[in-house]
Structure 1
Amino acid sequence: MADIEQQDRKGKLARPSSISEGVYDRIYERIMALEIAPGARIPIDALARDLNVSQTPVREALSMLEREGLVRKAHLIGYSAAPQLTRKEFDDLYTFRLLLEPEAARLACRNMTPEALARLETDAADMGRGEPPVDRNSRYSRFARADAQFHDDILAIGGNQVIRQALADQHVHLHIFRLMFHSRVTQEALEEHERLLVAFREGDPEAAHQAMYDHIDRSRARLLLAYE
């Protein structure tokens, strides 16, 4: 989100530029950091008290998170965090990504313009920056969001809207980043993104295809540790 709420010393929300966006950010960070466990119920009244806000912005934030696939709403039960990916779902998702994203990177390289490359460079810089004040949870959750933006921008530059929509519908990055809350996930991804950027700068579609394939394959290997 563009506007990040200010926090008081107790961690409560204090005069956010948008209360609903501030609440969204806080709940999103807790889900991504597994402070709200996969499958756990999210009682609106308790969350509102914890964040020191009314129930209305909490409901609005949970509605946004539901559209992103991070929470679910059941009749007469209410909201809960989306369940974690099963091992089968994880394997299927990465097989799907390996089929689509390397080709999308090759297409993006062929369509690359100086303006498009500048956008990807900005995305990559945003991932590495982690602007203060940022705690470990917010740094990781912001990285997940920036990583999703980086990959989506590559898909947009590639120009194949079917591939882009198919991956967007899976909420790929939000779900895989919930599997493991670890700095290794972010540091190695930054290095692999740089390989992609080198291929884009050099205008080498085959190198872009290979760099994306390697990035996704290594991401799969890193996150398999979550199932051990």
Structure 2
Amino acid sequence: MAISVERTGEGGIVRPTSISDGVHQRIYEKLMSLEISPGARIPIDGLARELNVSQTPVRDALNRLEQEGLVRKAHLVGYSAAPQLTHKEFEDLYNFRLMIEPESARQACRKLTSESLTRLELAAGDMEKDEQPAYRNSRYSRFARADAHFHDEILKIAANEIVRQALADQHVHLHIFRLMFHSRVTREALEEHERLIAAFRAGDADAAYNAMHDHISRSRDRLEAAFE
């Protein structure tokens, strides 16, 4: 398995990431793109052979993915991919989001500073990078993480840690992106995020509320097709 590289922010220095990080990323991509099906067993030895690494970084990666809610571990059974959301769980999750995220966006807009706006714009920009990874699922998987970071930044600015932790504990964005592996999910989300950013830039708290409500409602409508 080739070790990936990343660039630092200053001077364009390239440094290798660890083998463990590379293994984690590849398994994460397989889970997000459904190459590893929800509920499927994940044999450590098989992954180690496929990725041409020892079993140690595979175990490390699976432990991290278990903490992220994408993998489950059962006694005497081993690791398996987390099951897909049921339709009822999907509806409950979106109803929960509609209750708390629009109001969080409104509160965040009222508490916004120039520094926090800059952080939010950078988080939004991370989703719009035109890099073309070798694998399409790499780009989609990266977008899922960037989307989670963007929404978390809004909750961080709103400064309600109970709400923020509640959403983090549900691993909301990773699970919803597993429902449908499609470019429409990312393309339309980017447009909706831009409307959110515009409301924040204008300092319009009600517009931020409406933009977030619209974004979550549209996201629900896009992903509803996964249950048809």
Q: TM-score, normalised by structure 1?
A: 0.93
Contact 1:42 1:79 in 2 (8 A): yes
Tell me the residue number matched to 1:197. Answer: 197
1:43–1:184 Cα change, 3 Å:
same
Contact 2:39 2:83 in 1 (8 A): yes
**Percent same amino acid among aligned pairs?**
72
Tell me the residue number matched to 2:165. Answer: 165
Equivalent pairs counted in the alignment come to 218
Q: In the alignment, does 2:29 pair up with 1:29?
A: yes
Tell me the residue number matched to 2:92. Answer: 92
Structure 1 residue 31 displacement after superposition:
0.3
SS where residue 80 of structure 1 aligns? strand
Tell me the alpha carbon deviations over residues 128-161 of structure 1, each in whole angstroms, 9 at most, x when there is no partner: 1142434211000000000000000000000011
Q: In the alignment, does 2:121 pair up with 1:140?
A: no
Contact 1:4 1:25 in 2 (8 A): no
1:134–1:194 Cα change, 3 Å:
farther
Work out the CA distance in 1 between the residues paired with 2:164 and 2:217.
19
Work out the CA distance in 2 between the residues paired with 1:133 and 1:110.
38
Structure 1 residue 120 displacement after superposition:
1.1
SS where residue 73 of structure 1 aligns? strand
Q: Which amino acid aligns with 2:206?
A: E
- Aligned structure 1 segments of 4 or more residues deviating by more than 6 angstroms: none
Tell me the residue number matched to 2:57. Answer: 57
Contact 1:193 1:215 in 2 (8 A): yes
Q: Which amino acid aligns with 1:101?
A: E
Two-structure CA RMSD over aligned residues (Å): 1.5
Contact 1:16 1:22 in 2 (8 A): no
Contact 1:130 1:139 in 2 (8 A): no
Tell me the residue number matched to 1:221. Answer: 221
Tell me the residue number matched to 2:10. Answer: none
**Greater alpha carbon shift after TM alignment, 212-221 vs 113-122:** 113-122
1:136–1:111 Cα change, 3 Å:
same
Work out the CA distance in 1 between the residues paired with 2:115 and 2:139.
27
For structure 2, which runs of at least 5 residues remain unmatched after alignment? 7-14
1:43–1:16 Cα change, 3 Å:
farther
Tell me the residue number matched to 1:181. Answer: 181
Work out the CA distance in 1 between the residues paired with 2:162 and 2:4.
32
Work out the CA distance in 2 between the residues paired with 1:138 and 1:16.
18
Q: Which amino acid aligns with 2:184?
A: R
Q: Which amino acid aligns with 1:113?
A: T
For structure 1, which runs of at least 5 residues remain unmatched after alignment? 7-14
Work out the CA distance in 2 between the residues paired with 1:223 and 1:145.
17
